[in-house]
Amino acid sequence: MFRFIVRRLLQMILAFFGTTLIVYALMFAGQGDPIQALAGERPVTAAQRAYLTEKYHLDATGVGGFFYRYFDYISNLLRGDLGESLTGRSIGDILAAAWPVTIRLALIALAVAVIFGVTAGVLAGIRRASIFDNATLLLTLLVLGIPTIVLAPLAQYFLGVKWQVFPPTAGADPDFYALLLPGIVLGSLSLATALRLTRTSVAENLRADYVRTARSKGLPNRRVVSVHVLRNSLIPVITFLGVEVGNLMSGAIITEGVFNIPGVGFNLFRGIRTEDGPLVVGIVSVLVVVYLISNLVVDILYAVLDPRIRYE
């Protein structure tokens, strides 16, 4: 297990450099005039041009120059300095403000998926082909079929504007109540997937031989299901939810955009729209790390949950 983790960490370093290199290259390398690209449509004065050329080492040209600048960026990154956005704010500060909001949103979404998705999935799995099972199938297919870009404005319009059950937008420093509707919208997709996965897993495990054994020991049905079946059924579900945490943490660009939530996805979206190169590369670099770590945690969790999994 220890060797597995060390090997994975080494792989993570490679993956980190690989992805940041690609994002950095996409953001800066292809453009004819990087300074104009950094500034977007705004005019650049000669003084600004000289300052930026100096700052980003743009006097070095060609592939060598690109790597020179890339390593300069990375060495700053490794010291914890994410640089500044084009608006002059420290990207570290932007992320420090955005991250807590995104984490709260992600936790609400996750709670929605776990509480409703897993519970309904277990019930549907036990009562296969019942009305409840078919009703959840229909609902989940509906949710899975509607993209967030449609679902989020719909929910905002009906629940936020028309019936005014929830605040329609979150705004700066949102509280729990303001994040509830976006959290439910964001979590609905995970909920639907978690429900289908739990349902299939429970239904499959209920037919397993060890269930017959547990019943032949004279255990009450309640215990057979809640201990023997659930413990096995939840292995894939927890693995899925672990990966999902990584996805949710990496910012919900659409949901945060629609509900005006100042989280990571919101800032990333703004960075892309305003062609704020340093901001985009900075956020993506951090997201890569978050994603790699959450994947490693899921792999370790999998081995903890299923004793048959052994990593060499």
Partner 1 sequence: MSQHAVRPTPASPTPPGGHLLEVRDLHVEFRTGEGVAKVINGVSYHLDPGETLAVLGESGSGKSVTAQAIMGILDTPPAHISSGEIRYSGHDLLGLPEEQRRQIRGKEIAMIFQDALSALNPVFPVGWQIGETLRQRLGMSRADARRRSVELMDLVQIPAAARRLGDYPHQFSGGMRQRVMIAMALAMEPRVLIADEPTTALDVTVQAQIMDLLADLRRNLDMAMILITHDLGVVADVADRIAVMYAGRIVEHADVRSLYRAPAHPYTKGLLNSIPRLDQRGGKLSTIRGLPPNLMRIPSGCPFHPRCPYVQQVCVDVVPHDLVLGDGRTSACHFAQEVRDDRAG
Where does this chain bind partner 1 (CB under 8 A)?
207-210, 212-220, 223, 228, 231-232, 235, 305-308
User: 81 or 204, CB closer to partner 1?
Assistant: 204
User: 7 or 217, CB closer to partner 1?
Assistant: 217
User: 164 or 221, CB closer to partner 1?
Assistant: 221
Q: Report how far apart the first and last C-alpha atoms of the chain are (Å, whole number).
A: 6
Least CB distance from residue 128 to partner 1, whole Å? 10
**Phi and psi dihedrals of 254, rounded to 5?**
-70, -50
Contacts of 311 (CB under 8 A, 6+ apart): 1, 3, 4, 299, 303
What is the dihedral sign for C-alpha 174, 180, 185, 186?
Answer: positive
Q: For tokens 């990207």, name the residue.
A: 91
Least CB distance from residue 198 to partner 1, whole Å? 16
Least CB distance from residue 202 to partner 1, whole Å? 15
Contact between 133 and 196 under an 8 Å Cβ cutoff? The reply is no
Distance CA 312, CA 306 (A): 15
Structure tokens at 24: 């950095």
Least CB distance from residue 305 to partner 1, whole Å? 7
User: 79 or 308, CB closer to partner 1?
Assistant: 308
Distance CA 114, CA 118 (A): 5
Contact between 124 and 136 under an 8 Å Cβ cutoff? The reply is yes
User: 88 or 218, CB closer to partner 1?
Assistant: 218
User: 42 or 212, CB closer to partner 1?
Assistant: 212
Least CB distance from residue 220 to partner 1, whole Å? 7
Q: Which of 187, 171, 170, 188 is nearest to 179 (CA)?
A: 170
Least CB distance from residue 210 to partner 1, whole Å? 4
